[in-house]
Amino acid sequence: MPFDLAARLAARRAENLYRQRPLLESPQGPEVVVDGQCLLAFCNNDYLGLANHPQVIEAWRAGAARWGVGGGASHLVIGHSGPHHALEEALADLTGRPRALLFTTGYMANLGAVTALVGQGDTVLEDRLNHASLLDAGLLSGARFNRYLHNDAQSLANRLEKATGNTLVVTDGVFSMDGDIADLPALAREARAKGAWLMVDDAHGFGPLGANGGGIVEHFGLSQDDVPVLVGTLGKAFGTAGAFVAGSEELIESLIQFARPYIYTTSQPPALACATLKSLELLRSEHWRREHLQVLIRQFRHGAEQIGLQLMDSFTPIQPILIGDAGRAMRLSQMLRERGLMVTAIRPPTVPAGSARLRVTLTAAHSEAQVQLLLEALAECFAQLGPEPNHA
**Binding-site annotation: residue ranges:** 19, 106-107, 131, 176, 204, 233, 350
**What residue numbers does the annotated binding site for substrate cover?**
19, 131, 350
Nearest to 338 by CA among 1, 35, 29, 30: 35
Edge-to-edge, what's the strand order for the sheet holding 341-342? 31-34, 37-41, 341-342
Say if strands 167-172 and 144-148 run parallel, antiparallel, or are unpaired.
unpaired
Using CA atoms, how far apart are residues 321 and 308, in angstroms rounded to an integer?
10
> Between the CA of residue 102 and those of 243, 246, 335, what are the distances in Å?
6, 9, 41
User: How many C-beta atoms surround the C-beta of residue 295 within 10 A?
Assistant: 13
Compute the chain's Rg from CA coordinates: 21
77/97 Cα distance (integer angstroms)? 26
Cite the active site residues: 176, 204, 236
End-to-end C-alpha distance for the chain, whole angstroms = 43
Buried-exposed string 193-202: b where 16+ CB fall within 10 A, e elsewhere: eeebbbbbbb
8 Å CB contact between 169 and 198: yes
